[in-house]
Amino acid sequence: MIYRLKGFFRLNQDNEILIYFWFFLLCVICYGILIPFLGFYWDAIPYLFQFHSFGSAGFPEFVASDRPFSAWIFMLTTSLFKFNPLGYHLVVFFLRFVCIILFFHILREIWPDKRNFIFFSSSLFAVYPGFLQQPIAYLYCHHFTAYALFLISIFLMIKAVKPEKFNYLHFGLSILGTAHLFILENFAMLELIRPFILWLIISKQTKKDKVLLKRFFLMWAPYAIVLVIFLVWRIFIFKFPTYHPVFFEEFKLAPFQSIFDLVRRIPKDFYTITIGAWIKTFSIPQINIFGRSATFLFWLLTIFALAFSFIFTSFRSDNEKAQQKNTGGNFSLFLGAILLFFFAGSIVWVLGLPLDIAFSWDRLTLACIPAVAILFGALLDLPKHFKILPNIIFVLLISTAVGSHFANGMRFKRDWEDFKNMQMQLSWRIPSLEKNTTLVTDELSLRYYSDNSLTAAFNWMYSKEIRSYQLPYVIIFTKARMGGSLHSLDRGTRISQSYRTNYFRGSTDQLILFYHLPPGCVHIADPDLDVFNPLIPKEIRPYASLSRLDLIKKEVKVNPVFFIESQPGTSSWCFYYQKASLAVQYQDWAEAARLGDIAFEGDDYPNDASERLPFIEAYAMQGIWEKAKNYSDKTIEVSELYRPMVCRLWERINSTYNNDENSGAVEVQKYLSSHCISNK
């Protein structure tokens, strides 16, 4: 059986269908398994909100500030898939697979005899673990379209100039492929690899220097002209709307220091995208955090990838004669890898952006993948006699990358679930809201959503003003905005926040402070109690007193949106907590107490001790003292840090009973004197 299998692989090692199947399998186990469970992330929500408000016709203006020629991609994909995330994920999956196939064919055209190198490099190109944002499919339809156009352009250029009879159709289509420059600037400097590829191909066709030079410049001239046009437009006409050429600005002030800093940075970035990217893949998920089922799937996929890649690699054999013919060819491989690294890194260094294997800067590694793939492939191709070692290393690189991508996908899956859960809770707690209200928190545990993301989602839920650039609501993270659009949280401070064509104008006089620490519920700050809440960061805790609950109205005016279930379950603790908090706000004590009875008898429980407080107040106001005291004690038992908050609640209850001259004041005084020393 083994001999038959080995014979099959040897006979079919150049079979494109088998190679395509291998690449497709890698894509499936890296990026495809979790596709049905992934959603929208990061800037996708604002883009979709734009589509909801203005339709496809609104995209040209929406993206005009930074990538004006990319609008057609968003218009096309959003018109096709609208608010269904599955479509976008399938498109990105397909585009990535296309990029892998194109990369494979480009390598095969340039180095046709380096079979092992081509296989290693193309496979590592497929699974590169440094780029972690594939699940942000809505936005990366744009990126991978540009990537595919660049690779198609390179491939067609090679096909055009390689045969004895020049292929004008391929050449013309290849020039059209340079449109990727205007769609997305991330791959612009990779265009500089084109003349080296041309020289490598043309130099094999003629040894006459004059003929070689003439042919080379004639072939490269159209691409060079397009690149120059792009650079002139991007630098001098369109300029730098988002990021600025920090390196040149620093060079003017301190040339030697800026060059020294750059020279010192380059090796660090090289390590980050090569060894550093794969070192992170050896991080093993902790079962108590990652979950039992997810951990099992992680190991299942990793072991499957290890076993299958070992079988596939071991049963492939390289043509020894072809290897001998190509002796000494590794120099061009390493040169190509180094050049690609410098070309890809040049934009990052000029703009002074960080290159890191962490959200969100890992997006900058996308242009570096060809350099890393070629470099690692060349290293694995070096041993000519002892082949088992590179095969083992290759198998480890593939299997660890597969496990890393699954773990990354699970983080995105859970973030999407947390995002939807948060929006659901907000709809329960805030049936409707006064216009021009600002919601403030320091930051949220959501990894892949910014305050711009949440602002779009919130306006989608509550705004009735379609086709308006002015937003009635804004969510602000103080860690990201303090000192910028939010100068301070002091009373009366003006707030001005913009995102592309949308803007918000308001002030801290109309503010609601909140926080969300899953698995705890979304917590809307009570101005009286939450100045003592230990879970609110101390930097913003004093400003809880500015939180205006009166801005929240009882009338249900939440718009139907795709990220909120039309018929939500009502068995979760957070459902009862949010509904009870709203009831307490409007002093519907009987309703809040009723909800408390159901909540405390259920299987769920509070993950934030302060979530008992609305029920405590309701029970006290209903004269159900045993429950009010019992849940107060349980709250303090969690941590003494909650005692000031609980005592402040009982003081508020006391003031209500004193005003009504109710006999319940005796019960309140007993609790205050026994639990709150300052009130004795």
Nearest partner of 289 among 591, 557, 519, 72, judged by Cα? 519
Q: How far is CA 598 from the centre of its chain?
A: 38
Residue 497 burial (10 A CB sphere; 0-12, 13-18, 19+): buried
Phi, psi of 434 (to 5 degrees): -60, 145
> What was the pLDDT predicted at 264?
96
CA-derived radius of gyration, the chain: 30
> What was the pLDDT predicted at 318?
47
Asked if residue 610 and residue 518 are part of one domain, the reply reads: no
> What was the pLDDT predicted at 659?
52
Question: Sheet containing 437-441: which strands, arranged edge to edge?
Answer: 473-477, 437-441, 511-516, 522-524
**pLDDT per residue as tens digits for the range 251-309:** 999 999 999 999 999 999 999 999 999 999 998 899 988 999 999 999 999 999 999 99
106 near 154, Cβ under 8 Å?
A: yes
CATH number for the domain harbouring residue 596: 1.25.40
Asked if residue 479 and residue 462 are part of one domain, the reply reads: yes
Asked if residue 515 and residue 439 are part of one domain, the reply reads: yes
Residue 245, CA distances (Å) to 150, 232, 235, 251 in order? 24, 15, 10, 10
Helix %, strand %, coil % for the chain, to 5? 70, 5, 25
The pTM of the whole model exceeds 0.85: yes
- The H or E element containing residue 301 is helix 292-314
The span from the CA of 193 to the CA of 183, in Å, is 19
Asked if residue 500 and residue 388 are part of one domain, the reply reads: no
Asked if residue 126 and residue 20 are part of one domain, the reply reads: yes
> What was the pLDDT predicted at 324?
41
Mean predicted lDDT score pLDDT of the chain: 91
**pLDDT per residue as tens digits for the range 524-546:** 999 999 999 999 988 899 999 99
Instruction: Name the 3-class secondary structure at 162.
Output: coil
Tracing tokens 């009286």 back to the chain, one arrives at 528
List residues bridging with 505 in a β-sheet.
Answer: 496
402 near 502, Cβ under 8 Å?
A: no
DSSP for 595-620, please give it.
Answer: HHHHHHHSS---SSGGGGHHHHHHHH
**pLDDT per residue as tens digits for the range 572-610:** 899 999 999 999 999 999 999 999 999 999 888 899 999
Q: Which domain holds residue 118?
A: 2-412
Tokens of 158: 């090679």
**Number of CB atoms found within 10 A of residue 478's CB:** 20
DSSP for 551-598, please give it.
Answer: GEESS--PPP-TTS-SS--S-SHHHHHHHHHHHHHTT-HHHHHHHHHH
The span from the CA of 643 to the CA of 634, in Å, is 11
Nearest partner of 285 among 300, 272, 271, 274, judged by Cα? 300
Domain boundary among 534, 564, 594: 564
Average pLDDT in the 494-521 region?
Answer: 93
Residue 301, CA distances (Å) to 37, 162, 552 in order? 17, 41, 48
> What was the pLDDT predicted at 1?
47
Residue 667 in any domain: the answer is: yes
Asked if residue 441 and residue 395 are part of one domain, the reply reads: no
Asked if residue 380 and residue 441 are part of one domain, the reply reads: no
**pLDDT per residue as tens digits for the range 161-174:** 987 778 899 999 99
- The H or E element containing residue 376 is helix 369-381
Give the chain's domain count: 3
Residue 447 has pLDDT above 70, yes or no: yes
Cis peptide before 614 (omega within 30 of 0): no
Residue 289, CA distances (Å) to 48, 293, 515, 582, 604 in order? 32, 11, 22, 33, 19
**Number of CB atoms found within 10 A of residue 185's CB:** 17
> How many angstroms separate the first and last alpha carbons of the chain?
86
425 near 332, Cβ under 8 Å?
A: no
DSSP for 487-510, please give it.
Answer: ---STT-EEEEEETTEEEEEETTS
Residue 276 in any domain: the answer is: yes
Lowest average pLDDT, out of 196-210, 217-231, 440-454, goes to 196-210
> DSSP class of residue 468?
-
Residue 418 in any domain: the answer is: no
Asked if residue 544 and residue 580 are part of one domain, the reply reads: no
Asked if residue 575 and residue 556 are part of one domain, the reply reads: no
> What was the pLDDT predicted at 359?
92
Residue 202 in any domain: the answer is: yes
Task: State the pLDDT confidence band at 485, using cuts at 50, 70 and 90.
Answer: confident
> What was the pLDDT predicted at 325?
47
537's CB contacts (< 8 A; 6+ apart) are 442
649 near 613, Cβ under 8 Å?
A: yes
Residue 319 has pLDDT above 50, yes or no: no
Residue 657 has pLDDT above 90, yes or no: no
The span from the CA of 592 to the CA of 587, in Å, is 9
Residue 510 in any domain: the answer is: yes
Asked if residue 449 and residue 550 are part of one domain, the reply reads: yes
Residue 316 has pLDDT above 80, yes or no: no
Average pLDDT in the 432-454 region?
Answer: 95
The span from the CA of 475 to the CA of 282, in Å, is 37
Residue 78 in any domain: the answer is: yes
Asked if residue 406 and residue 541 are part of one domain, the reply reads: no
Our CA angle for 110, 115, 121, nearest 5°, is 75
Residue 421 in any domain: the answer is: no
What are the residue ranges of helices labelled H in 111-208?
Answer: 115-127, 137-161, 168-176, 180-183, 194-202
Asked if residue 264 and residue 166 are part of one domain, the reply reads: yes
**Number of CB atoms found within 10 A of residue 197's CB:** 18
5 versus 234: which is more confidently predicted? 234
287's CB contacts (< 8 A; 6+ apart) are 295
Nearest partner of 359 among 134, 519, 46, judged by Cα? 134
Residue 541 in any domain: the answer is: yes
432's CB contacts (< 8 A; 6+ apart) are 462, 552, 553, 554, 555, 556, 557, 558
Domain boundary among 531, 564, 597: 564
Domain boundary among 504, 539, 564: 564
> What was the pLDDT predicted at 528?
95
The span from the CA of 120 to the CA of 398, in Å, is 10
364 near 130, Cβ under 8 Å?
A: no
